[in-house]
Amino acid sequence: MSIYTRTGDKGTTSLFDNKRVPKDHIRVESYGTVDELVSFLGLAKNYMEDEKIYALIEQIQNKLFTVAANLATEDKDKIKYHIVEEDIEFLEGKIDEYMNKIGNPTGFIVPGSGIKSGYLHVCRTICRRAERRIITLSSHEDIDPLVVKYVNRLSDLLYAIARYLEEGEVKVDYEK
């Protein structure tokens, strides 16, 4: 089986429910940014020595496939898997766990005093871009609000873990 179909040669792609849209459609941009996040998380997790964090990142990657499937399907009746409130509660519990480990700090830091935190800060910014794309999509199409909520909480969790992994926290110095 070939991976090329030639169906996209004229600038369109097929959604999960077989509707064709331009490749630069905001729906494609939304799930494409989630795909970028999944890939970058895959890179980041390979720098994690902490088995719990590695497993957590892999769990998040799997859940992001549910997010992407929801974004890549216009016909709501054809969506097989959904984000549920328990998914949000799970993220909130992990946010609290990691923020408590570092004493709930305030103020801005210069991201990435080490490779682990650096990669996760990049993941956090990709996640926030995905959220912006999803918000734009939701202003034109009906998007499950739990998808938006999940991505919002995920960026907070990625921040909390990245901050936890900072090797030497560097506070922002506005006068430098």
Give buried/exposed letters for 76-98 (b at 16+ CB in 10 A, else e).
eeebeeebeeebbebbeebbeeb
The per-residue pLDDT for 70 is 96
Tens of pLDDT along the chain (176 residues) come to 666 666 556 676 676 776 877 677 899 999 999 999 999 999 999 999 999 999 999 999 999 999 999 999 988 889 999 999 999 999 999 999 999 999 877 778 778 889 999 999 999 999 999 999 999 999 999 999 999 999 999 999 999 999 999 877 777 777 77
Would you call 12 helix, strand, or coil by DSSP?
strand
DSSP letter at 16 equals T
Structure tokens belonging to residue 77:
């009746």
Is residue 33 within 8 Å of residue 137, measured between CB atoms? no
**pLDDT value at residue 15:** 66
Please state the domain extents for the chain: 17-74+82-165
Sign of CA dihedral 146, 35, 80, 8: positive
In contact, 57 and 44? CB cutoff 8 Å: yes
Is 17-74+82-165 assigned to CATH 3.30.930.10?
no
**Angle between helix 51-71 and 26-45 (nearest 10):** 170
